[in-house]
Structure 1
Amino acid sequence: MPKALNILLIEDDEIEVMKFNRVLKSFEHSHRVVEADNGEDALVILKEKVIVPDIIVLDLNMPKISGIEFLDILKKNDALKYIPAIILTTSSNHKDLLECYRLGIAGYVLKPLKYEDYVDRIKKLIDYWSVNEIISQ
């Protein structure tokens, strides 16, 4: 049975945040999204336990610390390293892809240009994680 997810969305582009939230609102389940517009703010959210996310969805290109730097910090933290981190990015750079998987991401999703394709990818991502068994903190 699918469940509602607690999602930490790390994205600095307000339009992308609005688009992500709009797509989630169209789904059957009410997923809770907490937003951070950079990796530093996301680390504060995780440290202060504002939310214990079931999944983290993040962009690679962000101010302050990049998505890769955030992942490196996340995956070295024994309390946080099991939270699935999914990259949602425009970067099709093979080097980024390899580095993210080396750090232990759970998925790498390219943002498509067409809105319908974006909706389809986000739906598949959320459907998968809402039926997956996730380690609780």
Structure 2
Amino acid sequence: MATIMLPVPVLLETPPCTHAKLGSAEVEIGRKVSAITDDSRVPVVKVSAALDKLAAEASAGGANAVVLRSHQGVYFTHNGRRSSGPVYIRLVGALVRLPEDTAPCRLVHVDADEIERRMRSRRPQEASYSDAYAR
């Protein structure tokens, strides 16, 4: 019987309890578009899928939690029409090893819906390819 690894929790804040820092992970999903992209139907991606990918990276890196450090969502506008969701998402997280007993830790989990709402609510900005995908 194969053991199924469950994704580790993605946290919004560094927990106040003692923990080990194991490095960082960066994930990207979606398609990087530019001013010369002529496809009006660039597929959108979901924050939840990016978070799942970050959790899997953290688990593969030996962490039992990951703290979201930064997120970037890029929308695409073609002929004055903005995509309904981001076409590219980049997440960076800090890999951590929490103690077995997390009761004394205050874990603040990331809410994918809240991140998506925050991305959608920002005013559109015209950006060059290098600005949109700057690290």
Q: TM-score, structure 2 length as denominator?
A: 0.28
Q: Provide the TM-score with structure 1 as the length reference.
A: 0.28
Query: Which gives a bigger RCO, structure 1 or 2 (Cα 8 Å, sep 6+)?
Result: 2
Computing the radius of gyration from Cα coordinates, the structure with the larger value is: 2
More strand as a share of residues: 2
Question: Between Structure 1 and Structure 2, which shows a larger proportion of helix residues?
Answer: 1
